[in-house]
Structure 1
Amino acid sequence: MILAFSLVLGTDNQPQDTDSSASFHPRSHPSLPGCENGPVTNSTTPPQLDGWLHRYSGKVRDLYVPADGSDAHLLVVASNRVSAFDHVLEPPIPGKGALLTALSNWWFERIDLPNHLAGEGSGAPAVPEEVADRAMVTRRLDMHPIECVVRGALTGSGFAEYQRTGAVCGIELPSGIEDGDLLETPIYTPAYKAPLGEHDENITFERSVELVGVEVATALRDASLRIFTAARDLAAERGVILADTKFEFGRDPETGALVLADEVLTSDSSRYWDAEAYADTSRDRAERLASFDKQIVRNWLRAHWDGTGEPPALPDEIVERTYARYRELYTRLTGLER
C-alpha cells in the first residue's frame, strides 16, 4: 500500500454548491475532470449501453446513469478522444481510454484511501462488455469544488505565475527558479472548479478555506500532498519524475468520509518526465521536459494550424506516437504490458 489514513468530515463545512441529487452537471458527479469543463465539440456519438442511459459527454469522458432510475451510481466511460486548445480532434487515439482507465485503477489499488469505485456487491448495474476495459462504475458523492493541484516541479502555468509574482497561489518561492526545476518540497496550489463553460481559477489555500471551511480545506490539502509524495517516490523507483498532478475529492453522503474521485495520476491528469532525459543537461529544455501525454499533439498543431476554424486531422504518425507515449508510461509505472 502507498499510504493509509482515513478522514471523516463533519457536515458543517460542506460547500454550498455541491449536491448529490440527480444532477448531471459535470461539477456534481465524481468523475469528469477539471479539463472536461465543456461539452464535446465534435459529432462523436457516445454508444448506447444496455442498462445505462447517456447523460453527458465531456471532451474525453462520457457519463451514464442507471436505466432503472436509481441514483446511487454512475458509469464513466473514458473515450479515445483527444482534445487540445479547446477542440476535440480527429481521429481519436485508439486504446487511449483503456490505458487511462487501467492506470487509474492501478493507482486506486495502491492508495489506501476510500475511492469512488463502486466495487463488487454494490448493487450497481454491470459494466457493459463493449466498454469493459475503459469504464468505471462509481458511487455518487458530494463533490468538493476544489481541484487539488500538487506541484513537485515548477513549469507550465505555475512557472508563468511565479515569473509574474514570485509566488504560486499565494506561496512565496525563492528567486532564481528556472522552468522545470524540481522543488525542495511539493506545494499545494488549489483551483476553484468554475461553473460549466467557465475557466477554473487558481486560488490560495486561504480562499479554499472560505469556500469549503477549514476542516475540509485542510483535509484536501493534506491528503493531496501525502498521495503525491508517495506516488512521486514510487515513480522515481521506475525512472520517472512526477512533476505535478491534480486530484478531485468528494464526501461520502452516508459516512462523511473523504473519497478520492475522478481519474488519478494518469497521463491526462499529471505531468510525468523521463528521469534520465531530465538529468541530461546537454539536451534542450523541450527534450528534458518531454511529458508522457498529448504534448506531441499540441506541438504538431502549433506547427500546422493557425488556431482559426476547425483544426486539421492528425496524421497517422502523430496518432501512433501519442499512443506509444501513453503506453510507455503505463508500462514503466506498472511493469505490465497492454
Structure 2
Amino acid sequence: MKPIKEGKVREIYDNGDSLIMVATDRISCFDVILNNTITKKGTVLTQMSKFWFDMTADILPNHMISADVKDMPEFFRQPQFDGNSMMCKKLNMLPIECIVRGYITGSGWASYQKDGTVCGIRLPEGLKESDKLPEPIYTPSTKAEIGEHDENISYEQSIAHLEKYFPGKGEEYAAKLRDYTIALYKKCADYALTRGIIIADTKFEFGLDEDGNIVLGDEMLTPDSSRNPDNNWTLPQDVVQKTIDIYLQGYEMLTGKTL
C-alpha cells in the first residue's frame, strides 16, 4: 500500500471511508524536510495528539477514530506503524491555519518591537519577550504547499478567504474557527501549566464532516515546531539525541506515561 499524500512529516493512506495518518520520524525546519530523523518522534506526535483529542472532545468533535493498529487494516499491523498511526474521519479541510498566541515570542515578539502589534492586533505597551499576553490572540494564516510559506492574514481577511471557498459561509466559519481555537488553547494551556509546561503558541486545523459540521483535524499541540531554512543541514548527533529526549520528556510530563 502506498500513501496518497506525503507531507513534511506525515504520510496519509486512503482506507475507503477513512484515512490512516502515519507520523514519521522526519523533521522539518522552515517548512523544509531535513536529512535527520528523530527516533520515536512519530510515536510522540501521534500519542500526544490522541491525548489532547481525548481531553478536548467536550469542546468539539475531532477526526480521530482510533490510534490502535488492531482497528486498522492488516498492512498497518507491522512494527513500523505501531504507535505512530491514527485512523481518522475524512474531512473537507478548511483553508486556514488557526494560530493562537498566549505569550509574546518568536515572530510575534519581532513584530511587536517594530510597531506594537502582532498580525495587526495592537498589544499593550511595555511587554517584554516571552511575557504572557492578557488574553490569547487569534492570528490565522493561509495554508501553503510543501516548500512554500504560510501567509499571516487578519481576521477580516480570513472571512474573505473562507468566503471564496464556501460562499455565504465565510463570516460564520471564521467566527467558529476563532472561538474554537481560543477555547481549545485555553483549556490545554491551563492543563499544561499544571504539568510544568508553557504552551506559548500553537496552531489547529479544522474541516467539515459529511454533515457540514466543523471538526478538529490534523495534529494537536505536539512539539513539532522546529524550523531552519537550510534543507541540506545535518544535525550533530548530540543535538539529535537531545531532541529525542525533549520530545519524550514533553510527552511524559503531559500524560504521566512513558513511551
> TM-score under structure 1 normalisation?
0.68
Matching residue's letter, 2:11: D
Determine whether 1:57 maps to 2:6.
yes
Determine whether 1:321 maps to 2:242.
yes
Gaps (5+ residues) in structure 2? 163-169
Report Cα offsets for 1:68-125 as digits up to 9, x if no partner: xx3x2221111111122454333311111101111010111111221111349xx974
Report Cα offsets for 1:253-275 as digits up to 9, x if no partner: x2211100011011015xxxxxx
What is the match of residue 205 of structure 2? 248
Tell me how far apart the structure 2 counterparts of residues 194 and 91 of structure 1 sit (CA, whole Å). 23
Tell me how far apart the structure 2 counterparts of residues 160 and 154 of structure 1 sit (CA, whole Å). 9
What is the match of residue 96 of structure 1? 41
Query: Are the equivalent residues in 2 in contact too, given 1:146–1:192 (CA < 8 A)?
Result: yes
Query: Are the equivalent residues in 1 in contact too, given 2:50–2:64 (CA < 8 A)?
Result: no
The alpha-carbon deviation at position 315 of structure 1 amounts to: 2.8
Matches within 5 A, 1:135-150: 135-150=85-100
Matches within 5 A, 1:262-277: 262-268=218-224
Tell me how far apart the structure 2 counterparts of residues 158 and 184 of structure 1 sit (CA, whole Å). 15
Matching residue's letter, 1:242: I
> TM-score under structure 2 normalisation?
0.87
What is the match of residue 256 of structure 2? 335
Tell me how far apart the structure 2 counterparts of residues 186 and 321 of structure 1 sit (CA, whole Å). 30
Matches within 5 A, 1:285-324: 294=226, 307=230, 310-311=232-233, 313-324=234-245
Tell me how far apart the structure 2 counterparts of residues 95 and 232 of structure 1 sit (CA, whole Å). 24
Query: Are the equivalent residues in 1 in contact too, given 2:141–2:151 (CA < 8 A)?
Result: yes
Structure whose CA Rg is larger: 1
Determine whether 1:160 maps to 2:110.
yes
Tell me how far apart the structure 1 counterparts of residues 36 and 72 of structure 2 sit (CA, whole Å). 33
SS at 1:327 equivalent: helix
Matches within 5 A, 1:119-138: 119=66, 125=73, 128-130=76-78, 131-138=81-88
The alpha-carbon deviation at position 195 of structure 1 amounts to: 4.7
SS at 2:52 equivalent: helix
Query: Are the equivalent residues in 2 in contact too, given 1:53–1:64 (CA < 8 A)?
Result: yes
Matching residue's letter, 1:230: K
SS at 1:202 equivalent: coil
Matched residues, number: 245
Query: Are the equivalent residues in 2 in contact too, given 1:73–1:124 (CA < 8 A)?
Result: no
Report Cα offsets for 1:171-208 as digits up to 9, x if no partner: 11112222211101111111111355432111111111
Matching residue's letter, 2:247: Y
Tell me how far apart the structure 1 counterparts of residues 75 and 191 of structure 2 sit (CA, whole Å). 30
Matches within 5 A, 1:191-270: 191-195=141-145, 197-212=147-162, 213-252=170-209, 254-268=210-224
Q: Check 1:77–1:145 CA distance in 2 against 1; reply closer, same or farther (3 A cut).
A: same
Q: Check 1:205–1:63 CA distance in 2 against 1; reply closer, same or farther (3 A cut).
A: same
Tell me how far apart the structure 2 counterparts of residues 132 and 334 of structure 1 sit (CA, whole Å). 19
SS at 2:223 equivalent: coil
Tell me how far apart the structure 2 counterparts of residues 260 and 127 of structure 1 sit (CA, whole Å). 26
Tell me how far apart the structure 1 counterparts of residues 217 and 141 of structure 2 sit (CA, whole Å). 16
What is the match of residue 167 of structure 2? none
Gaps (5+ residues) in structure 1? 1-51, 270-293, 302-306
Tell me how far apart the structure 1 counterparts of residues 178 and 30 of structure 2 sit (CA, whole Å). 29
Tell me how far apart the structure 2 counterparts of residues 89 and 256 of structure 1 sit (CA, whole Å). 37
Matching residue's letter, 2:138: Y
Report Cα offsets for 1:236-267 as digits up to 9, x if no partner: 11111111110000011x22111000110110
Alpha carbon RMSD of aligned pairs, Å? 2.2
Query: Are the equivalent residues in 1 in contact too, given 2:100–2:202 (CA < 8 A)?
Result: yes
Matching residue's letter, 1:238: R
What is the match of residue 120 of structure 2? 170
Query: Are the equivalent residues in 2 in contact too, given 1:118–1:124 (CA < 8 A)?
Result: no
Structure number with higher relative contact order (C-alpha < 8 Å, ≥ 6 residues apart): 2
